[in-house]
Structure 1
């Protein structure tokens, strides 16, 4: 039955007593249109053989007579096969050209060895590793969980494989900021394989993120018993120690949980484990950084001791400290100028000049080097060279009062020297 909403034109010709002839004609027209619409609503390929492909327009929508719902015809992007001219064919992408065979993604990593896990569980673990490396931590977590559940269903209780799965899942929790579940998985992993390095380190990080500093400190110290080369553990111990001192005062050590003693056999076993190229490179980089930090700290200490000795007038001892500094950092200009003044005070003018020469090779506009070399030339009675260096100082900085005064002295000595030679 057609309503006025279905055919608004007919409503214009309606009356309370009945329809006029014109209205009847319009109603008849509307019925015919609706019937045609129903016939066109059939999707192509649905049978009957009376519908042509061009009657079903891509993306068209029709309101059904019963419930008013919207029906969509097949679109060009539909994954199903279309029927055209009685022949089935695969959909053709926009642009009208069929897709050529695109290269398949490399999935060889799925079949990599994964301990003693059966193939289907090994693939889950390897897929989790792949996802984790690409930052998809939530998806990786699901794969590790499926592998853990699969081990339980298959009755697999290999401690080493399960420890790795729990430790890997803990890493996903840690990346997603779920420290509580990370701690739980790490604890399970450590129950399976006591003193495993990665679960210990990850649990320490999780404890630290939750501000449970005492437990974090214990785990970091345990890690360092196993492998002293874990720089992250060293840095964290220093950082947490300061926090614990602020939190608990001088007695902070007394409030720590007991730090377990790692058996020597575990330490030796860890040292004998083969490492990958990446691990070797990382260790070498950490060792280089640690050596650089050690040298920098030693250099700073020696330089400060040398400066203090100069203030005390102990120039020979200061010279020795500066010489040790130059062994650590042979290109440090300030050390050459500092040692030069010690040599001046010890009347070792030639050596002082050599140190100033070295400083000027490193910094050609170093005022201190020019000034102290001038004093060395003065000690060597080369007043002309001394005068030249002092003028260089004043050219760099006209406000160096000491250079002006020294230039007057050197000029006088030069004049006297010339007079003595002329007689």
Structure 2
């Protein structure tokens, strides 16, 4: 009797184990089916160029399995082919984070296209800061991407000019410096930076911010060492800031550049009287 009861318990235990295994197997198959079927349907539409119709199928495939890298990649590619650049970027980023090897590289290349498209669109809309941000990200991923560098230079010029027109000269200076970091030999960037630094330093001097004016004048001298005006401005800032010795040496440098400068001679006499 006891032996028969024990056998019944073992049979029940085996039955429960098989039932549980079957349930979980079916659940796994269901999840795979929920992912694979819509993905394949979306892929068929994608290959026919029906990107808009493919979108809900790719969305369904990643909803049922959030680690499905290929689903995110094709979701992003569908948005990309519809020129919906900003919508393409998040799923492509997810695909990159989930994938390895060739698929990761493929996703990275698709991301470059999406970022470029978004940057060009934002440039047209006048959102220059966002455009520059996307282009910088492209160069972080692929530094040798010449088109991205050229577009970034163009965007930064437009951004800096806009900031100058708004009176935000210190911000414009940062943009001109970024341009020179990308293209050190670009003459226009050098000239624009000199102009911006000169205006900024002069403004600080007029506002009585003598110590703050020293740095932009010093940068001006580094960029244009033959320009006496930068030395005169620096000498004024140093004198007003109480550094008579450096002010005297600086105005002497100005007179070496232009001995006939009446402004430099006048300031030289003023310093000597201190």
- TM class by shorter chain equals 0.3 to 0.5
> Looking at CA atoms only, which structure, 1 or 2, has the larger radius of gyration?
1
Q: What's the TM-score once normalised by structure 1's chain length? A: 0.29
Query: Larger RCO: Structure 1 or Structure 2 (Cα < 8 Å, ≥ 6 residues apart)?
Result: 2
